Amino acid sequence: MQRVRVLGETAAGEGTSRGQIVAASVARARDLVNGPANLVTPSYLAEVAREIADDLADRGVRLTVLEREDCEKLGMGCYLAVARGSAQRPKFIHLQYTPKGTAKGRVCLVGKGVTFDSGGLSLKPSDAMMDMKMDMGGAAAVLGALEAAAKLGVPWEVHAIVPATENMIGGDAYRLGDVLTASNGKTVEINNTDAEGRLTLADALVYAGKLQPTYMFDFATLTGACIVALGPRCAGVMSRDDELTNLFTSASERVGEEMWRLPLPEALKEQLKSPIADMRNTGERYGGAITAGLFLTEFTAGQRWVHVDIAGPAMVRKPFGVCDEGGSGFAVATILEFLARA
């Protein structure tokens, strides 16, 4: 007797297929975060992006990698300053997916890609440095999410942008008191070289903004202050765009990734004032996650933008739920849910 396929079976099969793709991309992000820093270098991240682009070229994926010289031409003074202390060459990775037909819009996903963070001349103590191979959790998330987005055929044009570098000590490392010029012309006085992630993101956000995105997000293991505020399992979300924030946090609720919105009070920008530059790269101890977000607002003018500080849930120290110790692949599932429903 011929078997009749019912609608529910078709939907179940599609759901299973989607789940497998999402799970594989979360696993890729976890593997990248868990890899030792002597393996997972900026060049290695670029090679992974090349592998994704080659495998999915027929799905509309292509890759551009900007070398140090290319970034110099674009005036990326903040990003390149962080890279100066390392023997590893920086790699500015731009992975793009273009859907078939007319796209609903353009979404830029910027991921912090510091493959090892020693703190630079503001050197971390040994215990605090042990997990710093995982400081590229944002990069892992956006690369994994773009790979899955292409496989799923989401209707958005998606760009994953990763300013990959190490933050190391060395004879040419950037110093406290240096004044850097970002690619939008803003000047930054350095008062802590261990606040390097926001410097790499600054130039990456300017670059992303030039693509004229419909929406722009950044994902970064940015501040210990966010873990103090929200604990180790919850990401901090910051934006002045209520509608976009609600769309994104609703997606996070549906997939079970905990996020909580933090404010961006303009008054706290007072902490970032500098007597010799447009701003300093850090404020005072209090409200550290928020002042990091406020710093990034200087590089996102006119954009519909959300900042997601994933310092807690991206780097799991005590296993919980489906997460073992190490990288969690946090934010991949939320990004894909957002792209499917927005």
Catalytic residues: 124, 198
Helix/strand/coil for 1: coil
- CA–CA separation, 89 and 67 (whole Å): 8
Which amino acid is residue 171, in one-letter code?
G
- CA–CA separation, 261 and 133 (whole Å): 27
Strand 215-220 versus strand 279-280 pairing type: unpaired
CA distances from 176 to 121, 196, 295 (A): 8, 12, 17
Q: What crossing angle do the helices spanning 137-152 and 7-34 adopt, rounded to 10°? A: 150
What is the DSSP-derived secondary structure letter of residue 323? B
DSSP codes, 216-250:
EEEEE---HHHHHHH-TT-EEEE-S-HHHHHHHHH
Which value, in Å, is the radius of gyration of the alpha carbons in the chain?
A: 19
Helix residue ranges, H only, the chain? 7-34, 42-55, 68-73, 77-83, 126-129, 137-152, 197-209, 224-230, 242-255, 288-297, 332-341
- CA–CA separation, 298 and 198 (whole Å): 11
